[in-house]
Amino acid sequence: MDKNIYKKRRESLKHHLPDGCALIIPGADLQYRNSDSSYALRQESSFYYLSGFCEASSLMVILNSGENISSIVFVPPKDKLKEIWDGYRAGPVGAVEDYFFDQAFENSKIDDLMPELLQGIKRIYYPIGKKAGFDQKVIDWTCSANSKDRHSQSIDIVDGSSMIGNLRLIKDEHEIEIMKRACDISAESFVEVMKAIKPGDNEQLIEAKFLYEFGKRGGRFPAYTPIVAGGENACVLHYIENNKDLNKSDLILVDAGCEYKMYASDITRTFPVGGKFSDEQLAIYKIVLRANKAAIDAVKVGNNIMEPQLISEKIITEGLVELGLLKGEADILHEQGAFKDFYMHKIGHWLGLDVHDVGDYMEDGDFMKFKPGMVTTIEPGIYISSSMDVDDKWKGIGIRIEDDILVTESGNVNLTAKVPSDPAEIEKLMA
């Protein structure tokens, strides 16, 4: 892996980080599931984006002096015993030699060295409110740096989330290649599981099959806890209990995506446990699919993020009126937001190192316009829980269809098209 990519990303900050300012990015700490049993470390995404470095409790400072941009990293010290138990550590020497930082120090020296590094800086940017205890640390370092020279300007603290988020929003070629592979792995896994599912299977078995299919292809971890929801469980939007048996006559909604080389994929398909859609299931499915397709078509340069949103709302409103689930004029119902009883979430979100990726949704007081290199999900849905005041035949149907869409110069690419969403194709696959 060419570590120069990360160095170049740090250097590109000279166009975004004003002269005389510092950007501080903390890395992830090890997390524990219980007692002293830890999860595998997942590096903090922005820290990874700018370093490729995956050791816990590290911290990066990028300084723009006006003449040049320099990057300093604090990393765990070399430690023979810890390395026997937990594995190799680069240490400060390795961080400079292998990750091309200008300077590196042991992380035990952060509190001592940070005030010196920050002395004379105009402004500190860092992601405010994102890491427990970190805001106070920055305040302490800033106060300490200010007190070193009472006659110099005081240092302002500014949220750096948008600066780094909007850099990450536009994916480079290297990232796009990885995301394509992440999406392929997830799509292939869907196809395998759809072919194998049987009535009576437990949701947990289906989750296990996804994790196996992901892992077999190099995606060791899911990008988020999979949602495996049989029947009405699909109406709980973040259902992750995943422990009920599947009924032949129900649909199953699976929202699952692997993480591959740190990048997320995010797919939802809804399919019949018994391999055949009922008339009611198919009627609702077709509305959601129409919304999915039309919204994807609207993901293109020149449009902003509200266009697929509005298109999906209108198609779902019209469809629900046609089926008698909403009564009245579609235009008026749309204006009133009547669809929100059935379609209560937004059309999608940015996708990248995080499943709900960073990056603003507004720019210059308006909705963000699509630009080449952005990746967004498109995921309309209709959810009819049994507590709703509708004919019984519709109750318990929850459907979402989610794809991952890359914006290109000339339109878009559906990165998850390899898993069918057409109902006839799904039935054929499952036959």
Of residues 107 and 270, the one with the C-beta less far from Mn ion: 270
Write out the binding residues for ligand GLY, residues 236-265 only, by CB under 6 A.
255
Is 400 considered catalytic here?
A: yes
Annotated catalytic residue, options 207, 318, 357, 402: 402
Catalytic residue among 6, 125, 239, 383: 383
377 belongs to the binding site for Mn ion (CB under 5 A): yes
Q: What's the chain's Rg over C-alpha atoms?
A: 24
Query: CB–CB of 396/238 below 8 Å?
Result: no
| Catalytic status, residue 224 | no
Q: Should residue 404 be labelled a site residue for Mn ion when binding is judged by CB under 5 A?
A: no
224 binds ligand GLY (CB under 6 A): yes
The CB-of-129 to ligand GLY minimum distance in angstroms stands at 21
The Cα–Cα gap between 312 and 315 comes to 5
Q: Is 383 a catalytic residue?
A: yes
Catalytic choice (55, 260, 400, 403): 400
Active site residue 259: no
Residues 6 or more apart in contact with residue 382 via CB below 8 angstroms: 284, 287, 288, 316, 319, 320, 342, 343, 397, 398, 399
Judged by CB, which is closer to ligand GLY: 22, or 227?
Answer: 227
97 is catalytic: no
Among the listed residues 232, 379, 403, 404, the single contact to ligand GLY using CB under 6 A: 379
Give the number of other CB atoms < 10 A from CB of residue 263: 28
Closest distance of CB 233 from ligand GLY, Å:
15
Q: Is 151 a catalytic residue?
A: no
Q: Which of 269, 290, 334, 349 is catalytic?
A: 349
Answer with the entry of Mn ion, ligand GLY, none that 224 interacts with (C-beta below 5 to 8 A by kind): ligand GLY
403 belongs to the binding site for Mn ion (CB under 5 A)? no
Does the protein bind ligand GLY through residue 221 (CB under 6 A)? no
Q: If contact means CB under 5 to 8 A according to the sort of partner, which of Mn ion, ligand GLY, none does residue 358 touch?
A: none
Nearer of residues 6 and 383 to ligand GLY, judged by Cβ: 383
Q: Show which residues are catalytic.
A: 36, 238, 255, 266, 345, 349, 356, 379, 383, 400, 402
Binding footprint of ligand GLY on the chain (CB under 6 A): 224, 255, 266, 349, 355, 379, 402
Q: What does the binding site for Mn ion look like in residue numbers (CB under 5 A)?
A: 255, 266, 268, 377, 402
